[in-house]
């Protein structure tokens, strides 16, 4: 092909393009060439609502009346006639120390009292004789005063001896550990022949009667609980039996910063429950001023980025995407948390393909 022919072809293409562009500028633009118009959507209003939120806390049932029993004095444990699981009555013997030394102390104190009593009786007789002699002027006043003083001194010695006897008898009684109330033995911590230390538990006892459960709750919950607040107690081992309970005590200080707060719940009636069973305390908290939207307003509710499209206060109307957190269902509405306010209008129909900032036309 010659250079002249190639130049002609290029010129023809350039001329054709120029003619097409000129023609295009003169033709009117059609609606289809402008792109789609505002998308038609349906909207609903963000509303405030109140809801009851159940919170569960795990614990273990225990007797409301319980004790870890210890001796007030040390010694060798001579016998312990009870075992774990035994039922005992009030005043029943649970454990006993070797009494030999204590029996001897009581006997010695009792003998001392007897000796002093005999001396006091004799001194009183001597005093009475001196008084008679003094009345007959056969004894001096000084002798009478000495006889009176001897009687008073022996009376004081007798009182001291009787106090020592009472203390020895008390220690002897303390050598026997008795049940302060009827219940069940839950632990034995010392075997016969071992040395008992004063104040160290030997037997643990759970009393008959009312039950309770202790749980730990966060600071967001402790502020909502008060003494006698009603709660529910579920027993998983009994196919979810639900019992009524009330807050018996709620700590107002945690053991240390960042820790949970202990709460004790007393059961109104034990029913089929027994100490040691697992329990769940259900606290029903009423939350007011919750923001709710219709369920269909939430885009990608189960995904990582749930959102709603809020109608922006602009003209023409546009929507803005608002990221939210999805809460509990309340009928056909759902609790949401995010930068929304009561009265905002959100899209509930026509979200498919909708993007942040898109123009919309509200139906109705």
Class for the domain spanning 66-205: mainly beta
Strand partners, 116: none
C-alpha 37/C-alpha 30 separation (Å) is 13
| Residue 36 pLDDT class (50, 70, 90 cuts) | low
Gap between the Cα atoms of 295 and 305, Å rounded: 15
Q: Find where tokens 């008679």 sit.
A: 132
- Domain boundaries, given as residue ranges, for the chain: 39-51+289-362, 56-64+209-287, 66-205
Residue 288: closest CA among 343, 231, 345, 330: 330
Question: Residue 206 class from Cβ within 10 Å (0-12 exposed, 13-18 middle, 19+ buried)?
Answer: buried
Q: Is the peptide bond before 316 cis (omega within 30 degrees of 0)?
A: yes
**CATH top-level class of 56-64+209-287:** mainly beta
Query: What is the DSSP track for 248-262?
Result: EEE-SS-SSTT--EE
Q: Phi/psi at 74 (nearest 5 deg)? A: -90, 165
Tell me how far the alpha carbon of residue 61 is from its chain's centroid: 13
In this predicted structure, what is the pLDDT of residue 24? 36
**DSSP class per residue in 160-202:** HHHHHHHHHHHHHHHTEEE-SSSEEEEEE---TTSEEPTTSEE
- Tens digits of per-residue pLDDT, 198-210? 999 999 999 998 9
- Integer Cα distance of 297 and 310 in angstroms: 9
- 252-310 per-position pLDDT tens digit: 887 777 789 999 999 998 888 989 899 999 998 888 889 999 999 999 888 889 999 99
Cβ count near 165 (within 10 Å): 20
Please count the other Cβ atoms lying within 10 Å of the Cβ belonging to residue 54: 10
Q: Which of 250, 239, 165, 181 is nearest to 215 (CA)?
A: 250
User: Which CATH code is given to the segment(s) 39-51+289-362?
Assistant: 2.40.420.20
Residue pLDDT, tens place only, 103-119: 999 999 999 999 999 99
295-317 pLDDT per residue, tens? 999 998 888 899 999 999 888 89
Instruction: Please give the model's pTM, rounded to 2 decimal places.
Output: 0.61
The secondary structure of residue 299, as a DSSP letter, is B
For residue 5, pLDDT beyond 50: no
Percent of the residues in the chain that have a pLDDT greater than 70, as a whole number: 90
Residue 25 has pLDDT above 60, yes or no: no
Containing H/E element for 103? helix 100-135
Residue 25: CB partners within 8 Å, gap ≥ 6? none
């Amino acid at each position: 092909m010659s250079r002249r022919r190639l130049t002609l072809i290029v010129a023809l293409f350039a001329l054709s393009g120029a003619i097409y562009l000129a023609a295009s500028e003169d033709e009117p633009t059609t609606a289809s060439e402008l792109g789609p118009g505002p998308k038609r959507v349906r909207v609903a209003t963000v509303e405030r609502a109140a809801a009851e939120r159940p919170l569960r806390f795990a614990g273990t049932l225990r007797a409301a009346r319980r004790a870890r029993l210890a001796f007030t004095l040390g010694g060798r444990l001579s016998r312990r006639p009870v075992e774990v699981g035994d039922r005992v009555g009030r005043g029943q013997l649970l454990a006993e120390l070797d009494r030999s030394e204590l029996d001897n102390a009581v006997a010695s104190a009792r003998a001392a009292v007897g000796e002093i009593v005999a001396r006091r009786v004799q001194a009183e007789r001597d005093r009475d004789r001196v008084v008679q002699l003094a009345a007959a002027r056969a004894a001096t006043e000084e002798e009478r005063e000495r006889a009176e003083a001897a009687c008073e001194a022996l009376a004081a010695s007798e009182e001291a001896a009787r106090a020592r006897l009472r203390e020895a008898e008390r220690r002897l009684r303390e050598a026997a550990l008795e049940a302060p109330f009827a219940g069940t033995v839950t632990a034995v911590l010392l075997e016969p022949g071992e040395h008992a230390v004063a104040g160290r538990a030997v037997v643990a006892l759970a009393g008959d009667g009312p039950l309770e459960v202790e749980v730990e709750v966060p600071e967001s919950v402790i502020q909502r609980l008060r003494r006698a607040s009603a709660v529910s107690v579920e027993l998983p081992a009994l196919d979810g039996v639900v019992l009524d309970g009330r807050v018996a005590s709620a700590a107002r200080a945690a053991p240390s910063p960042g820790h949970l707060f202990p709460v004790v719940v007393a059961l109104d009636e034990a029913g089929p429950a027994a100490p040691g069973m697992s329990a769940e305390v259900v606290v029903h908290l009423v939350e007011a001023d919750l923001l709710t939207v219709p369920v269909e307003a939430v885009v990608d509710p189960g995904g990582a980025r749930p959102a709603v499209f809020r109608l922006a206060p602009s003209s023409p109307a546009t929507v803005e995407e608002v990221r939210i957190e999805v809460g509990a269902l309340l009928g056909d509405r759902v609790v949401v948390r995010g930068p929304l306010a009561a009265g905002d209008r959100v899209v509930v129909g026509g979200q498919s393909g909708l993007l942040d900032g898109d123009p919309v036309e509200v139906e109705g």
